[in-house]
Amino acid sequence: MTPDGLASLAVRPEQETWMELKILVVERLVEKLMALALALIVLLVFSNVVGRYVLGASFAGAEELSRLLFVWLVFLGAILTLRRRAHLGVELVQARLPRWARKGCAIVTHLLTLYVLWLFLAGSWTQTQIGLSNYSTVLRFPNAFIASAGLVCAASMMLIVASNLLKILINHPGAVMAGDPPPVTVPEANAGHATPAGGAQ
């Protein structure tokens, strides 16, 4: 497909702004779900410890439920981390390359990432199907509840990576490539034009 054909797939600026707003709403919702999961994990573990050593009794399903919540907490956090470009990365080589070479490296790495995520998605789908007929020991919930966390994570990451890959291919200003210099903020841009202390008025 030609660059012009790829550009035709891009959304208009007003549509892009609306999409970004909806994505921000989803991010806030995911953050609240993560906070709720973390609070429930702390409550379950703490109450179980207190019940075991103080009352001599504990909730047998607390460990299973906290494990389920922890798995979802980790995978939801991984999605947000990728969305915000906060995963660890080494960009020493890409930063020294010209822009055309950085773009080529970015395309290759994005394609490889999509392939790995596809393997992750296929494996999670298989485990989810298997988990529909397998149940936890105490609470008897389907183990598919745990495997489906990987399914959601892989699908969400594929959308994020594919979206950035499309932006790179059409030279969208919002595209993010490894090795790109950090964006200049307004205070930094105005610093060079500031009047020195004691200068001419």
What are the pLDDT digits (tens) for 81-139? Answer: 998 888 877 778 788 888 888 899 999 999 999 999 999 999 999 999 999 999 988 88
User: Given this model, what pLDDT does residue 111 score?
Assistant: 96
Give dist(CA 196, CA 201) in Å, integer. 10
Query: How confident is the model at residue 22, as a pLDDT?
Result: 84
The 8 Å CB, 24+ separation contacts for 19-26 are: 23/83
**Cα 158 to Cα 165: distance, rounded to the nearest angstrom:** 10
Q: What pTM was computed for the model? A: 0.77
199: pLDDT strictly greater than 70:
no
In a 3-state reduction of DSSP, which class is residue 10?
coil
In percent, the amount of the chain with pLDDT more than 70 equals 82
Could you tell me the residue ranges of all domains in the chain? 3-89+97-180
> Mind listing the pLDDT tens digit for each residue in 164-184?
999 999 988 888 888 777 665
Task: Give CA separation, 155 vs 43, 81, 161, 162, 166, in Å.
Answer: 30, 15, 10, 11, 17
| Residue 166 confidence (pLDDT) | 93
